[in-house]
Structure 1
Amino acid sequence: MTVFETGDLAAASYLSNFLGLAVAAVLLLLGSTWVDKSLRIPVTLCALALLAAAAASFEGRLALAASGKIPVLYHYAGWIISLPLLVLALWFLAGRAGQQSVGLFWRLVIVSVLMVFARYLGEAGYMHATLAFLIGLVFWLYILGELYFGRMDEAVRLSTDELLRRGYFWLRLIVTVGWAIYPLGNFITSFGGYQDDGALSIAYNVADLLNIAIFGAALLATAILSGADGKNA
Structure 2
Amino acid sequence: MTNLLLFFEGPSKLDPTDYVGFTFFVGCMAMMAASVFFFLSLNQFNKKWRTSVLVSGLITFIAAVHYFYMRDYWFANVESPTFFRYVDWILTVPLMCVEFYLILKVAGAKTGLMWRLIVLSVIMLITGYFGEAVFPGQAALWGAISGVAYFVIVYDIWLGSAKKLAVAAGGDILKTHKILCWFVLVGWAIYPLGYMLGTEGWYTNILGTGSVDVVYNIADAINKIGFGLVIYALAVKKNEVV
Q: TM-score, normalised by structure 2?
A: 0.86
What is the aligned counterpart of 1:108 among 111, 117, 128?
117
1:220 alignment partner AA? Y
- Structure 1 counterpart SS, 2:43: coil
1:145 CA drift (Å): 1.4
- Structure 1 counterpart SS, 2:169: coil
1:227 CA drift (Å): 2.6
Question: Contact (CA 8 Å) 2:38, 2:56: kept in 1 or not?
Answer: yes
What is the aligned counterpart of 1:179 among 179, 188, 197?
188
The percent of aligned pairs where both chains have the same amino acid is 26
In 1, distance between residues paired with 2:172 and 2:112?
A: 27
In 2, distance between residues paired with 1:167 and 1:181?
A: 21
What is the aligned counterpart of 1:75 among 85, 94, 98?
85
Aligned length in residues: 221
Matched, 1:220 2:220: no
1:39 CA drift (Å): 1.4
Matched, 1:64 2:79: no
Matched, 1:194 2:209: yes
1:195 CA drift (Å): 4.6
In 1, distance between residues paired with 2:50 and 2:156?
A: 23
Question: Residues 202-213 of structure 1: matches in 2 within 5 Å?
Answer: 202-213=214-225
In 2, distance between residues paired with 1:146 and 1:34?
A: 32
In 2, distance between residues paired with 1:79 and 1:146?
A: 20
In 2, distance between residues paired with 1:204 and 1:110?
A: 23
- Structure with greater contact order relative to length (CA < 8 Å, sep ≥ 6): 1
Residue by residue, what CA displacement relative to the aligned partner does 1:41-79 show, whole Å, maximum 9, x if unpaired?
222112111111111111001111222222122221111
1:216 CA drift (Å): 0.4
2:120 alignment partner AA? V
In 1, distance between residues paired with 2:145 and 2:153?
A: 13
Q: TM-score, normalised by structure 1?
A: 0.89
Question: Contact (CA 8 Å) 1:41, 1:89: kept in 2 or not?
Answer: no
Question: Contact (CA 8 Å) 1:36, 1:224: kept in 2 or not?
Answer: no
In 2, distance between residues paired with 1:156 and 1:106?
A: 17
2:34 alignment partner AA? A
In 1, distance between residues paired with 2:51 and 2:145?
A: 30
Matched, 1:148 2:148: no
1:140 CA drift (Å): 0.9
Question: Contact (CA 8 Å) 2:35, 2:57: kept in 1 or not?
Answer: yes
Q: Could you tell me which residue of structure 1 aligns to residue 9 of structure 2? A: none
Please provide the CA RMSD for this pair: 1.7
Matched, 1:117 2:129: no
